[in-house]
A and B are shown apart, each in its own frame.
Chain A
């Protein structure tokens, strides 16, 4: 049986056009490659 209240919590306000700029600024710009490069830099620093 559906728990209506719980299901309702899954719905969030949809962003409006005026909020596009905020969405872009809040965009997480890091990806797995960034993590990899960071790890490699760290490893190289420890090595030296």
Chain B
């Protein structure tokens, strides 16, 4: 305790040791204030909140700077639902003692929950509105409003009190008693609450002590008795339910439940399931359509690729097939190479030329080489075959003669000599029909030939020609070979009917001219083929 004058700490004396001021009355007031604070604290501990408020207010009237008393007063207000009064006391307390004040904690706790503060403030506003309704005589509206108030602010003692008072006014004793009992749970020592509660209980007691005839009537309808703070009204005009009725009721309940399931829940579930199935079916259908479209597109692509593959195969066949360009090139080149290396083996070169197509390539170099090879090799091969055939004829090998002479006439169809000796070979080999046929062909094809006259003699007289054929070796000896060969070549060229590029006339023997010309043509052809991308 400090001196009110100088602030020095006071002793047990009735005056200040520092300034000499009389502090006797001052000390008594301070003690009175503390005593009231202690009283308020005791009442607060036993939930006599209104008594605590009274004591604490007395304490503060003695000493307004009694911080503990003011903070406790704020706390009691807060417990009674009076949050605004609580905040006011704490703020004033904070004003008197800025530091080491527990009011800081209280206010901080309230401010940390603004939603709750807002709800409490709303409940206070509704309480005030209920008061207005009461002033206007709208008690029912006030009751509704107060019910909302106590539901949001269940510690608002004044709300319960006013609600209880309104119920008393409406003679709703039980409700009034219930509301007032709730008020007592918050503030056990509130005299107004106890006063109203006593009124309610008295009314209930009076109601319980009604006249006998009324009570009998009541007994016929119901039995009313007290169970603690509650009044239980039990109706009497109900029959005791037997076991069979209970079972029947259960069965009826089950039937009603099943009907509800069947008519309300089940259709909804079925409809929901159908909807889900339809959605899933739609999704599957869409996916199937998409897959079908993809499949169709893949089929089209496959067909296009197959067509492209067939076209490529055909193109490749045109190059590499038996009648293709590559085979023609190979045959022509092989024939040319064989003829260049061995000009005397013209028959083999001619055989290689058999599979060569003249139109395998449209290039001029190919055409030139083919013409050169066909004319040179063909004529020489025909001559060689003719000579071989005649030699076979002279030696009596008519079968070999037929083969060679057929080849010679095949290579050069203007060789009347080959046709004549071929016919004679058939005749002497016993095939007179074939021989006569060939002789007739000779007389028809070469009517001016000397062999045509000899053929006519046979056909008219039937005498076989026993004159040996003139072979190339014998002609070479008598100097007629060159002339015959030249004639044969000219005939071959005429038969080929190809416009040849400046082919020199053949010499007495296989001249180097075509041989030297062929490699040049081959080189040109190879260059051209390389440009075409053949190789």
Contacts and interface: CB of A to CB of B under 8 A. Distances in A.
Contacts of B134: 8, 11
B93 to A, nearest CB: 11
A17 B117 contact: yes
A11 B127 CA distance: 10
Contacts of B87: 17, 20
A28 B75 CA distance: 20
Given A11-B158, A14-B158, 5 more contacts: A7-B196, A8-B134, A13-B127, A20-B91, A31-B61
B79 interface: no
B64 interface: yes
Interface in A6-37: 7-8, 10-17, 19-20, 23-24, 27, 29-34, 36-37
A4 interface: yes
Interface residues of B, number: 41
Interface of B is mostly: helix
B125 interface: yes
Contacts of A16: 84, 121, 124-125, 128
Interface stretch (B22-30, B280-288, B458-466): B22-30
A43 to B, nearest CB: 10
Contacts of B4: 33, 37
Contacts of A7: 165, 192, 196
A27 B162 CA distance: 26
B199 interface: yes
A23 B158 contact: no
A14 B88 contact: no
A11 B162 contact: yes
B155 to A, nearest CB: 13
Nearest to A34: B64
A15 B30 CA distance: 30
Contact of A24 (B30, B64, B92): B92
A33 B62 contact: yes
B290 interface: no
9 pairs of A and B residues whose beta carbons are closest in the complex: A31-B64, A15-B84, A13-B128, A23-B88, A17-B121, A32-B62, A14-B124, A4-B169, A32-B29
A30 B128 CA distance: 30
A29 B165 CA distance: 35
Nearest to B95: A24
14 contacts: A7-B165, A10-B192, A11-B131, A11-B134, A11-B162, A13-B127, A14-B84, A14-B158, A16-B128, A32-B32, A33-B64, A36-B25, A36-B26, A37-B4
